[in-house]
Amino acid sequence: MGNLRVLHSNHIGYFKYISTKKSWEIALTDGSFVRLKGNLRAKNLCAYNDRFIQIHQSYIINIQYLCMIQNNHCIMYPPFHHIYELCISQKYKRELTAYFYQF
C-alpha cells in the first residue's frame, strides 16, 4: 500500500507534467514536490478546484498565486516568485487572461 497525502488547494502552487514519467507533479508552498500516481489528465486536475487553470500543455497553475502576466510568462506571488518556467501557450492565453481579470 502506498502513501496517502491529503493536500489543501492553498498549498498547491502549480502542476507540472513530467513526460518521461508520464505523470503530473505538484509544486507545494513548502518548496517540496509530490508526484501524482495514476493516469490523471489536465482536465481532471482543473476540475478539482476552480482556482486551477491550464496555461500550457505541461502546466496548470493555482491562479491565487498569479501576480501578473508578462511576456507570455506567469509571474507568481511568493513562495513561487522565483519560478520562471511557467510559460503561457497561445492555446490557453485567452482563457487565462479572461479568468485572471475576473479573479
**pTM reported for the whole predicted model:** 0.91
- Least confident residue range of 36-45, 66-75, 78-87: 36-45
What does the pLDDT read at residue 1?
46
CA 26 vs CA 11, 87, 91, 103: distances in Å = 10, 16, 22, 22
What confidence tier does 3 reach under pLDDT thresholds 50, 70, 90?
A: low
CB 24 within 8 A of CB 15: yes
pLDDT digits (tens, 9 = 90+) for 22-65: 999 999 999 999 999 878 899 999 999 999 999 999 999 999 99
